[in-house]
């Protein structure tokens, strides 16, 4: 049976991220490297996480802790929100993503804008910035308690939909 790649591409792991993780071919884009990094966590190929991180950004990396965490987590999926640059002819790229996993039965979500740099023909992860939820901004005028209800009932909002 074909094992689909954890990165969500719908392609077999053996043809998708595994060759990148195993060093058989390079990631052609920043997004391809991002997907391979997620698949590396999901498949506990965590040496790749360090190898695909820019040397200037490796300080403080905990190889054993990363491997243990990857093993204990149940990887639920990767969603690519957007990419900026990071193509074959670019030298920098940005990939916004949401990674999902379960840890000790708890659903976890990590939303990040990951930054990548291309050096010597290969993409490397440099830094990530967590994306925080944006506050909801009202675009329509606020309905007052004593205004007519917006549903069209003719009743004051506080006595209708505002209950």
Domains defined for the chain, CATH in brackets: 18-132 (3.10.450.50)
Query: What pLDDT does 136 receive?
Result: 72
Query: What pLDDT does 17 receive?
Result: 98
157 pLDDT more than 90: no
Average pLDDT over residues 127-138: 83
- Residues near 46 by beta carbon (within 8 Å), at least 6 away in sequence: 40, 63, 66, 67, 70
> In whole numbers, what is the pLDDT of the chain averaged over residues?
92
Positive or negative: CA dihedral 130, 131, 133, 136? positive
Query: What pLDDT does 133 receive?
Result: 76
CA distance 127 to 90: 17
Tell me the residue length of the chain: 163
Q: At what angle do helices 63-72 and 30-42 cross, to 10 degrees?
A: 70
For 94-125, what is each residue's pLDDT tens digit? 999 999 999 999 999 999 999 999 999 999 99
Query: What pLDDT does 162 receive?
Result: 77
Contact by Cβ (8 Å): 160, 151: yes
For 66-98, what is each residue's pLDDT tens digit? 999 999 999 999 999 999 999 999 999 999 999
Query: What pLDDT does 23 receive?
Result: 97
For 38-67, what is each residue's pLDDT tens digit? 999 999 999 999 999 999 999 999 999 999
CA distance 29 to 122: 9
Residue 158: pLDDT band (50, 70, 90) is: confident
């Amino acid at each position: 049976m074909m094992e689909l790649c954890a990165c969500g591409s719908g392609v077999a792991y053996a043809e998708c991220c595994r060759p990148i993780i195993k060093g058989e071919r390079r990631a052609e884009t920043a997004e391809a490297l991002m997907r391979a990094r997620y698949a590396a966590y999901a498949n506990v190929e965590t040496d790749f996480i360090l190898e695909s991180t820019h040397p200037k950004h490796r300080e403080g990396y905990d190889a054993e802790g990363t491997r243990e965490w990857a093993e204990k987590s149940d990887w639920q999926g990767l969603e690519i929100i957007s990419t900026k640059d990071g193509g074959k002819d670019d030298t920098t790229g940005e990939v916004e993503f949401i990674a999902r996993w379960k840890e000790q039965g708890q659903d976890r979500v990590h939303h990040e804008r990951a930054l990548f740099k291309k050096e010597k023909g290969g993409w490397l992860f440099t830094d990530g910035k967590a994306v925080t939820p944006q506050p909801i901004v009202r675009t329509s005028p606020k309905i007052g308690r004593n205004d007519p209800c917006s549903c069209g009932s003719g009743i004051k909002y506080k006595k209708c939909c505002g209950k």
